[in-house]
Structure 1
Amino acid sequence: MSEHILKRDNKSLLLYHLVFPLKYRKSVITKEIGDCLKDICLEISERYEVHFIEIGYESNHVHFLVQSVPNYAVSKMIRMLKSITAKQLFQRYPEVKTNLWGGKFWTSGFYVNTVGQYSNEEVIREYVKNQGMEKEYNKVHSNQLTLF
């Protein structure tokens, strides 16, 4: 189970289930790109106060279970995650850009749910884990939460 993050002026346990669809729902995420996405996300964790508890993908969308701090508005965190991951993926895999007509990796939309409002962390973990079991879901990262 995730633990609270203790800061000088607050204590928080903010968990989010995020889903980012690819532009035009194009199926461009391969195992290689999924592994690279995981590496990019772990680099983001080192620079920002966003901890990836679980990452999984299908060829046309990505699921994240993340913990963050109150300083980041959810929309700011999502913009930051989409921006950095898209830029890095396009730099490392320029051929992907040709498959996405508009030159954008992610669609402007997203799904976000606070873990705990409609279910608990374990239910969301199982949901993310079991996404695409009949299709092609590939879990590329799972981690125990550590305090920042």
Structure 2
Amino acid sequence: KALLSEEITKKIKQTTEESEQRYDLEMEQLGCDLDHVHLLCSFHPKYSGGQIVRLFKSITARELFKTFPKLKQELWGGEFWSDGYYLATVGERGNWKTVEQYVQSQGKKPEDMQLRLL
């Protein structure tokens, strides 16, 4: 369901920024479309990628329900995030910049994006 309005996206970003120091992670980019989120982050190797995803989902859902109590009524089963996720790793020498640009472009309409010639 398309729930990621501008207001909700802003709260997700704020909550994520507040969690960075506590969990020793750095959200490099966070891009939201209407029904999904893309993250590009760095984190301490003591955490697995799955732990970071679960952490992100639980903290943001809790804060969203606190800030927007009526949101829970709009959701099937009262859960904000679906169970699934896709996780990939990138290195700074590999395709980091490509992934960063992709995440930055999330939520932008095609007419908002400028075409560049190579």
Unaligned runs of 5+ in 1: 1-25, 138-148
**2:29 equivalent in structure 1:** 54
Matched, 1:111 2:86: yes
Higher strand share: 1
Q: 3-state DSSP class of the match of 2:20? A: helix
Q: Which has the higher helix share?
A: 2
- Counterpart position of 1:8: none
- How many residue pairs match? The answer is 111
TM-score, scaled to structure 2: 0.85
Q: Report whether the alignment pairs 1:78 with 2:53.
A: yes
Contact 2:31-2:103 within 8 A present in 1 as well? yes
Q: What per-residue deviation string (whole Å, max 9, x for no partner) do you get for residues 37-77 of structure 1?
A: 11100111021111111111011111111000110011111
Code of the residue aligned with 2:3 in structure 1: it is V
Query: If the length of structure 1 is used for normalisation, what is the TM-score?
Result: 0.69
User: d(CA) in 2 for partners of 1:45 and 1:132?
Assistant: 23
Choose from 104, 110, 114 the match for 1:129. 104
Q: Percent identity?
A: 36
| Runs of at least 5 residues in structure 2 that lack an aligned partner in the other structure | 113-118
Q: Residue 28 of structure 1 aligns with which residue?
A: 3
Structure 1 residue 78: deviation in Å?
1.2
Q: Structure 1 stretches (4+) deviating beyond 3 angstroms?
A: 131-135
Residue 12 of structure 2 corresponds to: 37
Match of 1:68 in 2: 43
**CA displacement 1:97-146 (0-9 Å, x = unmatched):** 111121101000001110139x51101011112335436x9xxxxxxxxx
2:87 is paired with a residue whose SS is strand
Aligned-residue Cα RMSD (Å) equals 2.1
